[in-house]
Structure 1
């Protein structure tokens, strides 16, 4: 059985304070949701503008005591446009070894403190404790037992291990399962210290972990947001293709009613194209979010390494930097390139449709002009014959033409119009 003294579980939660293009009402609502995570009556000290790291309450930690055996606290902060919250819970005993199963109790207590309506962008669990004197337990075995106490997950994925303050540190990570509607990745860090002194020193690094894991979770969140944007772009593209195929059908333009329909289709394509362009900008924005937070992650990790000293090995956290560069940024860059090409193809498609409509419009205008010209010639002829026909009795006194002067004029007008139409066909 794996035993640790003073087992402690910390949950780091992150929620957006002011997302892109958020209204003041939405920002206020985010603050209200974050406050609802804290004990009733808690007041936070906000400030205008950006702030890299600000503690939101005085005192900075808000203690809570669930029962006589456990103790814990809240630690709310703001990191630029993001709220961060650490919820700490530990066994109130710093002398007797505790079994690894006690982390299940600590997790249950922390989750009972959570407000389920708080929309988070990510979270990280940190399990810690120190070994009893003269312990011969394998730290890696202890870490695995602690992990299984926290999550009943057979697909254990250990991403790295190192040394920290003379002890062992491990990282476990499992990407979110979209099929199970998981809101964030499962990220767990387990630190096992050699003695109480190292465990007490580790408390000085909580603010550093708060910042480091904030950048990490924002990078992963931005990547998953980019996947949603990509799906939206593909959906827009398919919609435009469906409209294009309607117009490309055989004999489509031979139906006069389709000329009006085609204009509606073009307007529909224009609307979709605008949405496509906006989504393409969102994709570039998520790329920038990843780049900025990746730079901050590297800076913070370097600071932690310098703070802890050379005798510690924290390269396990650098694997995430390689992942972000090799997978996240590379994938988004390819998506942007492909979607920009798709945008050009869509613009070419709509320009071709517009050209076709203009050709059809010109042909219809030409036909209309011919009708006007023919009718005009006939009307002019009727007008010219109107007066002479009245005196036709002197010329056609023995015919019935003079009995029906209007009919005679109309017939002559139709005949002239027909001859005029034939001449236009031959000349044009």
Structure 2
């Protein structure tokens, strides 16, 4: 079938998603936040001439969803003249320049729309031509990147996705792995010949919102992979600590210095491990919530499809949109839950090791305290004995009238005898005290 690579009213949109967070004290962050807030919520703003298009932002409690719309600059009045799809390359470059206002940290999607220019055009062939004209990847593969197609608000709808990390969601329930040189996400909506574009704004609205749930879910999974690596490293540190604690338990003489150092390291690791594990759990909850919101939005779109085509006895299903949800549950949510259950026991092992270390420190401190008390008691008794012996022996040794020895001999002898008596008594008492000794 002959088909012309041209469309009426060709337009390209770049959808950008970022976290909305005003809590940072960074000056640069504060300026960026103020700039995003200045764009307003649901307030379209025209692009600066000679560009033809507009910027439209939706502000959510925790996110920004920004749409940058671009059209052929030669088609400012939206004439009925068909335009070559080659115009999308120039619009794409324009949108990339305009996107400097938003980094798209959570992700970005492309949304291409147009209306058939001739009765003999095949929407799928045109969509393929547009896919290649955009050149979002250096290695295009339509069949591998296409994850869903159907009818959406009067248009032939195609969704293509090459996710980061090599995971590829195919049109069936299975998934394949690609080399993934470039990742992207693209919606293509080709309206029928002569179709009204009055519902285009609603189409933009719903796809902009769907993209938020999709990209936040993908970002949560990407972040979970970093956390998994970190938690695995923490788990290895926990094993080392547990091994060192086990060695300390079987030593006769514990080292307070080593135990204190090990306990300090363990407490720091406990804080880091707990924070990372808590963040992983929060991403699981975020992913669950976003996938539920994604499904709810898909079903709302399906109902709108039915209202647009009331002649249909059954509302059009949203399975072609929900494939991402099914893919994300299988490849994102379930692995994240498994990672959490596999990595969380390490925290409990660390807590147990810290309790053992605390107990060992208390035992060692108690032992040393008891030994010190015994030493004080023995020294006190020994000193008392020395004093008593000295008091008893001093008169006969030192007083001349008692026939004592000369002073030069008597005084050193008195000191020697008294000290020896004190030491003997202290030593005997030390061995008689209860065994809390070293």
TM-score w.r.t. the length of structure 1 is: 0.81
Match for residue 274 of structure 1 among 271, 276, 299: 271
Which residue is 2:281 aligned to?
Answer: 284
CA distance in 2, matches of 1:403, 1:166: 118
Q: Deviations over 1:397-418 (max 9, x none)?
A: 5995665211221112122222
Tell me which of 373, 383, 403 is aligned to 2:387.
383
Distance 1:324 1:26 in 2: 34
| Aligned counterpart, 1:83 | 64
Check conservation: 1:15, 1:122, Cα contact below 8 A: yes
Match for residue 47 of structure 2?
Answer: 64
1:359-409 Cα distance to aligned partner (Å, 9 max, x none): 322332333333333323321211211211212335985995665211221
Is the partner of 1:120 in helix, strand or coil? coil
- 1:234-383 to 2 correspondences below 5 Å: 234-249=232-247, 258-309=255-306, 312=316, 314-383=318-387
Per the normalisation by structure 2, the TM-score is 0.79
Structure 1 residues 376 and 172 mapped into 2: Cα distance closer, same or farther (>3 Å)?
same
Q: How many residues align?
A: 400
Residues 20-52 of structure 1: per-residue CA shift (max 9 Å, x gap): x767989854532425xxxxxxx555xxxxxxx
Deviation for aligned residue 1:244: 4.2
Contact 2:154 2:195 (C-alpha < 8 Å) held by counterparts: no
Q: Which residue of 2 aligns with 1:98?
A: 83
Using the alignment, how far apart are the partners of 2:365 and 2:276 within structure 1? Answer: 33
Contact 2:153/2:304 (<8 A) preserved: no
Distance 2:237 2:335 in 1: 24
C-alpha deviation, 1:345, in angstroms: 1.1
Q: Is the 8 A contact 2:16 2:104 kept in 1?
A: no
Which position in structure 1 is the counterpart of 2:148? Answer: 160
* Structure 1 position 414 matched with structure 2 position 423: yes
**Which residue number in structure 1 is paired with residue 5 of structure 2?**
2
Change (3 A) 1:44 1:149: closer
d(CA) in 1 for partners of 2:87 and 2:326?
Answer: 35
TM superposition shift of 1:356? 2.3
CA distances 1:172-221 after superposition (whole Å, capped 9, x unpaired): 1122259xxx9x96211111222242445334321122222212222222
Report the secondary structure of 1:216's partner residue. helix
Q: Secondary structure at the match of 1:154?
A: coil
Cα pair distance change 1:315/1:202, threshold 3 Å: farther
Residue equivalent to 2:171: none
Q: Distance in 1 between matches of 2:28 and 2:239?
A: 36
Report the 3-state secondary structure (helix = DSSP H, G, I; strand = E; otherwise coil) of the residue aligned with 1:197. coil
Helix, strand or coil for the counterpart of 2:199?
helix
Q: Taking structure 1 as reference, are residues 23 and 280 closer, same or farther at Cα in structure 2, changes over 3 Å only?
A: farther
3-state SS of paired residue (1:6): strand
The aligned counterpart of 1:121 is 106
The answer to whether the aligner puts 1:13 opposite 2:16 as a matched pair is yes
For residues 120 and 361 of structure 1, the distance between their equivalents in structure 2, rounded to whole angstroms, comes to 53
Q: 1:268 to 1:155 in 2, by over 3 A?
A: farther
* Pair 417,317 (structure 1): closer, same or farther in 2 beyond 3 Å: same
Cα distance 1:427–1:196, how it changes in 2: closer, same or farther (>3 A)? closer
Counterpart Cα distance in 2 of 1:343 and 1:34: 40
